[in-house]
Each structure stands twice: as structure tokens, then as C-alpha cells.
């Protein structure tokens, strides 16, 4: 039988059967793992083949080919990676300008990862009810401009006032979407709003953050009220860059990639070369400086790693 993994908690998997009933499964023996080195062989969003043991439990015998998946490495140096979710149509990175503050480098690392897996991404600035001062508004305008130039949609939302929640809801219909972001930015609160599952656990950042705990501990998929599926994930502190060559990085900054076709040198790194069209675009304000700086920082990371490995 074939089912959809809604949640994975180490060795127990919550699987939705074709009948709609949900059962608990374990893995039978060892599974073939398509060469992905990860801490979790099966992730939320995976389709699995299983044998029923009884009405409530089953044994997973195989995993269906994935359309795609998104992986996170805890840091640049860590070898182990974790599959965040599989078979997704859309990724949302949830950010807040403060309470807590999301760093743009974190956003850009996430976006590079999503680009590498060819998963479209939208940025949700949550808690807009808190960002009413003119200083906050200026930061919001700046973030919107940075990502507009890069070609990403940015939506300002608030689960408290409901701002733009209907716009978000519309985008979720008929798709499998995943929410990612730092702990405390309101991922689970958003899920509650679009699913009507009021019993989900959220908590004040002050309580969870200081203990170094995340409120959500396992990724889980839920149904939205309009026929979509949405995956809640535990908050993450950092995103390590994947194993990619430094030349690849520019491909995952869509705006840098776009302007790079007119650089003088085909192997231009856009860092110092003469007649670099990317540097020109940065100077003309067509590429945001923060994005360009993060591009250079990611290139540096990769080069440092190469030197270490030698």
C-alpha cells in the first residue's frame, strides 16, 4: 500500500493512507537510500510503500521516487544533512525584522538552497503589527526592495491582525508548501491561521528562546482549509551552504546570474574583474548591495573550505 508521510519523529512515521486514515509506521529493515547522506532517511512529504501490521500500524518497505526535496546542513562544516521535506511545490521563508531579528544572510542562505533544489520561494515578513514605527517601516521597505530586485515575492503578514492572510491562503490552495525560518518568527501561528487547528503549540519567544528550545520539535504536514498542504518545521538558527562549487553560487542568485551574461570574462567571479556587468549593476542599484555582499561572503566560505580540504 502507498501512503504519505505527515510526520517523522526518528523511527516512528505518521502515514496518511489512501483511505485518509492515519497510521503509525516503522521502517522494515534497511532501505535503499539513493545515496543521500542524511540523518533522516524518510521525511515529511515522502510517499512510502508499507505493509499493514494491524489497523493502526504498518511497516514501511520502500520509498517512492521524490519529485524534489530540500536539505539543510546545520553548518558549512557539518557533514550530516537533514532532509527538511520532500515533494514540495513552494517554500516560504518566514522572517521578522525584530522580535526576533532575522539576519539577511540567513535569508540568502535559505534562498540559495531553495534555488539549488529549484523550489520557488516567497518571503513572508510576519508580525507586521509590531512594525509600525517609521524606523521599522524603513527597514521593511528596504527588505522589500532588496528582494523585489532579486525577483522574489515579499508579503507582509500578521497572524494577529490577519493582514494579507487571505492572500497567503490563496497561494496555498492545491499545493504542498513548507514554512521555514528562525525560532519564534511565527511559523506555527501561521499554520494555525490557515488550517484552523487551534490546538497546535506556539509560545512566546521569551519563554522558549532563552531556554534555547524550539516550540515545534518535528516537521509536520497539515491540510489547509482550501485544499492545500502545509508543512511546519522546527525553527533553525543557521543554514549551512550545500556542497556546491563556488562557480555554482552565482547561478543561485537569480539577479546576479541574469546580469552575469554580459560580463567580459566567461569565468568572471564578479569580485574584481574589469568590465564585470554584475559589479556595474550593483553600482547602478539594479542589484541590492546586501545580496551582492552575501554572494561574496558565500564565495569566500567556499574558497576557505577548499583551502582547508587541501
In the complex, the residues that contact Zn ion under the rule CB under 5 A are: 263, 268, 270, 276, 278
Decide whether 161 or 225 has the Cβ nearer to ligand GTP: 161
What residue 268 binds from ligand GTP, Mg ion, Zn ion, none (CB within 5 to 8 A, per partner kind)?
Answer: Zn ion
Using CB under 5 A, pick the residue from 102, 128, 159, 216 that binds Mg ion.
Answer: 216
Q: For the window 252-271, what string marks contact with Mg ion as x by the rule CB under 5 A? A: --------------------
Decide whether 126 or 250 has the Cβ nearer to Zn ion: 250
Whole-angstrom CA distances from 85 to 75, 88, 91, 132 are: 18, 7, 10, 34
Contact 121, 252 (CB under 8 A): no
Q: Is the dihedral of CA 288, 170, 217, 120 positive or negative?
A: negative
Is 202 near ligand GTP (CB under 6 A)?
yes
Is 126 near Mg ion (CB under 5 A)?
no
Is 204 near ligand GTP (CB under 6 A)?
yes
Which residues on neighbouring strands pair with residue 231, listed in sequence order? 178, 221
User: Minimum CB separation from Zn ion for residue 260, in Å?
Assistant: 5
Decide whether 184 or 228 has the Cβ nearer to ligand GTP: 184
What residue 130 binds from ligand GTP, Zn ion, Mg ion, none (CB within 5 to 8 A, per partner kind)?
Answer: ligand GTP
Residue 248, class by beta-carbon neighbours within 10 Å (0-12 exposed, 13-18 middle, 19+ buried)? middle
What residue 278 binds from ligand GTP, Zn ion, Mg ion, none (CB within 5 to 8 A, per partner kind)?
Answer: Zn ion
User: Minimum CB separation from ligand GTP for residue 230, in Å?
Assistant: 12
Nearest alpha-carbon partner for 115 in 234, 291, 307, 310: 291
Close Cβ partners of 152 (under 8 Å, ≥ 6 residues apart): 111, 121, 122, 123
Is 122 near ligand GTP (CB under 6 A)?
no
Quote the Cα angle for 294-295-301, to 5°. Answer: 85
The rounded distance, in Å, linking the Cα atoms of 291 and 10 is 36
Amino acid at each position: 500500500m502507498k501512503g504519505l508521510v505527515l510526520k517523522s519523529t526518528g523511527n516512528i512515521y505518521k502515514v496518511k493512507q489512501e483511505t485518509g486514515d492515519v497510521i503509525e509506521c516503522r521502517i522494515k529493515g534497511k532501505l535503499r537510500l539513493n545515496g543521500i547522506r542524511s540523518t533522516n532517511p524518510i521525511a515529511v512529504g515522502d510517499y512510502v510503500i508499507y505493509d499493514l501490521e494491524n489497523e493502526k500500524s504498518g511497516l514501511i518497505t520502500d520509498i517512492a521516487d521524490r519529485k524534489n526535496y530540500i536539505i539543510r546542513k546545520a553548518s558549512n562544516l557539518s557533514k550530516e544533512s537533514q532532509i527538511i521535506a520532500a515533494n514540495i511545490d513552494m517554500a516560504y521563508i518566514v522572517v521578522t525584522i525584530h522580535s526576533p531579528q532575522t539576519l539577511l544572510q540567513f535569508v540568502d542562505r535559505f534562498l540559495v538552497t531553495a534555488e539549488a533544489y529549484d523550489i520557488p520561494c516567497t518571503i513572508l515578513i510576519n508580525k507586521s503589527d509590531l512594525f509600525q514605527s517609521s524606523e521599522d517601516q524603513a527597514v521593511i521597505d528596504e527588505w522589500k526592495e532588496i528582494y523585489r530586485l532579486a525577483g522574489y515575492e515579499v508579503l507582509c503578514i500578521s497572524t494577529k491582525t490577519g493582514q494579507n492572510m487571505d492572500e497567503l491562503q490563496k497561494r496555498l490552495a492545491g499545493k504542498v508548501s513548507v514554512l521555514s525560518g528562525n525560532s519564534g518568527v511565527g511559523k506555527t501561528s501561521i499554520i494555525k491561521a490557515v488550517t484552523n487547528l487551534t490546538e497546535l503549540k506556539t509560545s512566546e519567544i521569551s519563554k522558549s528562546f532563552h531556554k534555547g528550545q524550539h516550540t515545534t520539535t518535528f516537521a509536520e504536514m497539515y491540510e489547509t482549509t482550501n485544499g492545500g498542504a502545509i508543512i511546519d518545521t522546527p525553527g533553525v538558527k543557521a543554514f549551512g551552504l550545500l556542497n556546491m562549487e563556488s562557480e555554482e553560487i552565482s547561478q543561485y542568485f537569480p539577479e546576479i546570474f541574469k546580469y552575469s551574461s554580459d560580463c567580459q570574462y566567461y569565468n568572471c567571479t564578479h569580485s574584481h574583474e574589469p568590465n564585470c556587468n554584475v559589479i556595474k549593476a550593483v553600482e547602478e542599484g539594479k542589484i541590492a548591495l546586501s545580496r551582492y555582499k552575501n554572494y561574496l561572503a558565500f564565495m569566500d566560505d567556499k574558497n576557505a573550505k577548499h583551502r582547508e580540504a587541501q
